Amino acid sequence: MTAVILSLVVGWGVFLSQTSSQTSSQGLVVYCAHDAVYSEAVLRRFEQQTGIPVTIRFDTEATKSLSLVRMLLDEKDHPRCDVFWNNEQLGTMELQRAGALLAYKGSGFARIPAPFKDPEGHWVGFAARFRVQMINTNCEPPPEFGELPEGPLDRVAIAKPLFGTTLTHYVCLWQEFGPETLKAWQRHALEQKLHLVPGNGRVMSLVADGICDYGWTDTDDFHVALDDGKPVRMLPVRVRGKTIAIPNTVAIIRGTRRLSGAQKLIDFLLSEETELALARSKARQVPLGLVTAALPADVDRMLPWLKTATDLAPLFEFREPCLRWLESENLP
Amino acid sequence: MTLLPQCAVCVARALVLCGLVTWLATALRGTLLGASRELRLWISGMLAVLLATPDLMVGYAYGDFEFSLAQHPAWNELLYATLVGAKLLPLATLLAWFSPPSPLSPSASHCLRLARVSFKQKLDAWLQGSGRRAGPIAAVVFLLAFQDFELAARLGVVSWTVRLFDLHAREGFPLEDSLWLTLIPATVTLAVALAAVFPLLADLRQNPTPSDTIGAAPQRLGNWPVPLLIGLLVLASLGPVGIVYRGTWGAWIPLLRDPAIRMQLLRETSTTLLVGSSAAVLAMLLSRWLNSRVGLLVLCLPGMLGSLVLGLVSRGLFRQIDFLSARVGLPLELYDTPLPLVCTLTLWLLPRAVLLRWALRGRERQTSVAVAELLRSASDPEQRATERRLQWDLLWRGRYWAAVLLTGWAYWDLTLPSLLAPTGMTAAPVRLYNFMHFRQTTILSAQLVVTILAPLVIVGLLAVLAPRLMARRSTR
């Protein structure tokens, strides 16, 4: 038993010494809601270029994680995080409203067009994905659908709209069509057996495998299916003619003790190099700033959609009432 | 659906499962008692494989298949219930094997069947007889089925645990609201747990005699449970292993060539093992040190609430401690350290450690150990080595495998590390889970296989080396 306890003590000694070197006074703590499979390589490149160690707390898919936005709000008075890399915009705006973010206008801020950043610099968007209608090309006849489709929906899937980009999608519908129309459609959709599934990844799988004819998801999930050789195509979701582009957003947390490193990371993430890397990743995220190098064909195809993208900032005021309604619905 | 109806669905499901699994486990015990040595080994091996198959792998393997059941929720429910039942069967059989014998002999039971007695009398006799053994097993199966979270989330079935997690993810309730939300499931859990735990704790205090573990003559039940066990093994273990292993073709060379992935796997696997084994050792020590029945009961109760409720409450509690300590000018900052995770894992494992101690109590016979210890002072090194070997056989082998089992549970738990791990510490299963929503990929399957095999290799090596090292030490 003594040997076992000694081994554990030595193990903890090694672990704690490694951890303390990572979270030294210069090391940055980054909360990252973007998928680790794409974002970790970017953050490691920053480490290599600057020599600043980065400790990352990742968000997890669907229900398996308490949201990082919620965690940052809870930690507001005693922040541990220096930089927040969110994979959408409205949650970051909630942090801004709570006074949890610090304004910074560095070199990256200037690169990004006005609709995708806070004018005061509390947060800046980069590398967007789009909400899309993903269609299985084997399904016959090809489905016809509008923004709020009618008829049988038992072969149609959407993620539970309580989180992430699907929530943004619903808030957009709420704003454009009004609450009553959306509520009526939701009732109809559930009566018509619309599949509400835990996440966008599952929507992608249902459509890719032909279990559903089509579904609403994001471009990064669509491209996973496409790379797998699945029979799928996509159309951008258009609400009153406008596409829904959801950028990553990045912000410095108020109270950071590593301001200089945090600013360097913000500039790095908003750089052309990072946007290009994310465009060339399997997620094919669309750069918001000017990129001079050649982009992959899939990304080129999506670039025009940016011109008709909905301005997400005005949606923020509708998010809370929409979310309250969705919660009261007790979705299955 | 609100939390209350979801709880009701889970209670109904857990009741069905506890009935079926307890019945099958009791039948398997009967088969084991009457089986030849070879068959007993085969059955034990199959149960061990079922027990060692992580939920994460089962969920991952069936993840794609489950999509095809999206149109058939009843079949999906059946698949889920079968997988949970298969997961719980080995533990139920283990408990049935080690549970105290019925005070009614088979001949007394037979006489009772022949006698013309009322239903109430028969029920009383059953409660005093077979029911005494089945009760705690059924309670444990009920609790674990009722609290399941990971498979339920992965297979998308109705479950209060998934609902509770959704509510927390959106609202991040403070501690008092968390406690309020968990009131209904906690009440169900505590009612069942208290009914199950008191008899176990009473048994723990008794010094078992050898006859306790021999029990009444076994009732020969035949081998009919064996095909059922094989079916469950294929469905819940060999099938998923096959799917995942098949998925690794072509991934091994890229995995071996990528030093970053190798290092990451090594770091995360070793960290998860360190946390898991620390919690397991602490839980075992606590279960042995605490002699007070009330003290043990109080410490066991949080763990019986399940990892989700325990994790959410613990998370709120440690944050509250940090907050209050900062207010009085003594900032502790415990929340973002490994301490909450290790402490909570220990509490979660404690009821299981008590169960295992209960199971092992017949094996660790103090008189045999004391007799073996007499050899320790022998002048002959061979005799001292024999003493060590006997100590290993009588005492440490059981404890070692109990620790392995506890470490395995902690290692594969997704819920507590995802709630409580500090920044920068990612448990290997949590990381794999994060990647799993991108469908099955070869490199992910290979990483999953490494994450499963690495601890198994260490466990196997230690099982071989530990008794030899003990014996060698005594010859010096």
Q: Which of B83-87, B177-181, B281-285 has the lowest mean pLDDT?
A: B177-181
Compute the distance between CA of residue A139 and CA of residue A133 in angstroms, rounded to an integer: 14
The answer to whether residue B109 scores a pLDDT higher than 90 is: no
Q: Which of A262-271, B41-50, B324-333 has the lowest mean pLDDT?
A: B324-333
DSSP letter at B392?
I
Instruction: Check whether residue A177 and residue A109 sit in a common domain.
Output: no
Compute the distance between CA of residue B321 and CA of residue B332 in angstroms, rounded to an integer: 8
> Please, which residues 296-315 of chain A have a Cβ atom closer than 8 Å to chain B?
none
Instruction: Check whether residue A124 and residue A145 sit in a common domain.
Output: no
B470 or A100: which leads in pLDDT:
A100
B332 or B6: which leads in pLDDT:
B6
**Hey, which residues does A132 pair with through a beta bridge?**
A217, A236
> Please, which residues 174-233 of chain A have a Cβ atom closer than 8 Å to chain B?
195, 197-199, 201-202, 204-206, 208-209, 211-212, 224, 228
Crossing angle (nearest 10°) for helices B442-475 and B259-289:
50
Crossing angle (nearest 10°) for helices A316-328 and A90-97:
110
Among B170, B274, B433, the residue with its CB nearest the CB of A327 is B170
Instruction: Check whether residue A177 and residue A268 sit in a common domain.
Output: no
| B-chain residues near A195 (CB < 8 A) | 70
Instruction: Check whether residue A139 and residue A229 sit in a common domain.
Output: yes
The answer to whether residue B205 scores a pLDDT higher than 60 is: no
Instruction: Check whether residue A121 and residue A252 sit in a common domain.
Output: yes
Total structural domains in chain A? 2
Structure tokens at B414: 């997704």
Mutate which of B155, B319, B437, B465 to test chain A, going by most A C-beta atoms within 10 A?
Answer: B437
> What CATH architecture is B251-476?
Orthogonal Bundle (1.10)
Does A8 reside within a domain?
Answer: no
Instruction: Check whether residue A60 and residue A187 sit in a common domain.
Output: no
> Please, which residues 22-51 of chain A have a Cβ atom closer than 8 Å to chain B?
22-23, 29, 31, 35-37, 44
Tell whether A98 lies on the interface with B, counting CB pairs under 8 A: no
For strand A101-102 and strand A245-253, is the pairing parallel, antiparallel, or unpaired? antiparallel
Where, residue-wise, is CATH 1.10.3720.10 in chain B?
A: 251-476
Structure tokens at B97: 């094997």
The answer to whether residue A66 scores a pLDDT higher than 60 is: no
pLDDT at site B410: 93
Does A5 reside within a domain?
Answer: no
Tell whether B75 lies on the interface with A, counting CB pairs under 8 A: no
Closest-CA distance of chain A to residue B20, Å: 28
- Establish whether the linkage from the previous residue to A141 is cis, with ω within 30° of 0: yes
DSSP letter at A84?
E
Compute the distance between CA of residue B189 and CA of residue B175 in angstroms, rounded to an integer: 19
Instruction: Check whether residue A160 and residue A226 sit in a common domain.
Output: yes
Would the CB atoms of B168 and A162 count as touching at under 8 Å? no
Q: DSSP string of A10-75?
A: HHHHHHHHHHHHHTSTT-EEEEE-S-HHHHHHHHHHHHHHH---EEEEE--SGGGS--HHHHHHHT
Does A19 reside within a domain?
Answer: no
Of all residues in chain B, the percent with pLDDT exceeding 70 is 82
Among B1, B70, B171, the residue with its CB nearest the CB of A330 is B1
Q: How confident is the model at residue B216 (pLDDT cuts 50, 70, 90)?
A: very low
Compute the distance between CA of residue B395 and CA of residue B378 in angstroms, rounded to an integer: 20
Instruction: Check whether residue A234 and residue A273 sit in a common domain.
Output: no
Structure tokens at A247: 């950028």
Compute the distance between CA of residue A253 and CA of residue A76 in angstroms, rounded to an integer: 9
Does A54 reside within a domain?
Answer: yes
Tell whether B72 lies on the interface with A, counting CB pairs under 8 A: no
Instruction: Check whether residue A217 and residue A322 sit in a common domain.
Output: yes
Burial code (b: 16+ CB inside 10 Å, e: under 16) for A30-55 equals: bbbbbbbbbbbebbeebeeeeebbbb
ipTM of the complex: 0.73
Task: State the first-to-last Cα distance of chain B, in angstroms, to the nearest integer.
Answer: 67
Which of 1.10.3720, 2.60.40, 1.10.150, 1.10.3470 is the CATH number of B1-246? 1.10.3720
| A-chain residues near B425 (CB < 8 A) | 19
Mean pLDDT, chain B, integer? 80
What would the mean pLDDT of B33-61 be, rounded to a whole number?
87
What SS3 class is residue A206? Answer: helix
Q: How confident is the model at residue B319 (pLDDT cuts 50, 70, 90)?
A: confident
Centroid of chain to Cα B13: 19
Closest-CA distance of chain B to residue A111, Å: 31
DSSP letter at A117?
B
φ, ψ of residue B188 in degrees (nearest 5) = -60, -50
What element of type H or E holds B85? helix B73-98
CATH number assigned to the domain comprising residue A229: 3.40.190.10
B130 or B267: which leads in pLDDT:
B267
B472 or B118: which leads in pLDDT:
B118
Would the CB atoms of B274 and A70 count as touching at under 8 Å? no
Asked if B60 and B436 touch (Cβ cutoff 8 Å), the reply is yes
Q: How confident is the model at residue A303 (pLDDT cuts 50, 70, 90)?
A: very high
Q: In this predicted model, what pLDDT tens digit does every residue of B221-231 receive, in sequence order?
A: 567 888 899 99
Residue indicated by tokens 């959609």: A305
CA B312 to each of CA A7, B9, B305: distance values in angstroms, whole numbers, following the listed order: 30, 22, 11
φ, ψ of residue A23 in degrees (nearest 5) = -100, 40
Does A65 reside within a domain?
Answer: yes
Compute the distance between CA of residue A168 and CA of residue A248 in angstroms, rounded to an integer: 13
Tell whether A71 lies on the interface with B, counting CB pairs under 8 A: yes
CA dihedral A47, A48, A51, A56 (to 10 degrees): 20
Instruction: Check whether residue A229 and residue A268 sit in a common domain.
Output: no
Instruction: Check whether residue A136 and residue A121 sit in a common domain.
Output: no
pLDDT at site A279: 96
Would the CB atoms of A73 and B172 count as touching at under 8 Å? yes
Could you tell me how many CB contacts below 8 A there are between chain A and chain B? 131
Domain of A143, in residue numbers:
130-244+317-328
Alpha helix stretches (DSSP H) within chain A: 2-22, 36-50, 68-74, 90-97, 107-111, 164-177, 179-191, 200-208, 219-227, 259-269, 272-280, 297-302, 316-328
> Please, which residues 236-265 of chain B have a Cβ atom closer than 8 Å to chain A?
260
Does A9 reside within a domain?
Answer: no
Instruction: Check whether residue A141 and residue A237 sit in a common domain.
Output: yes
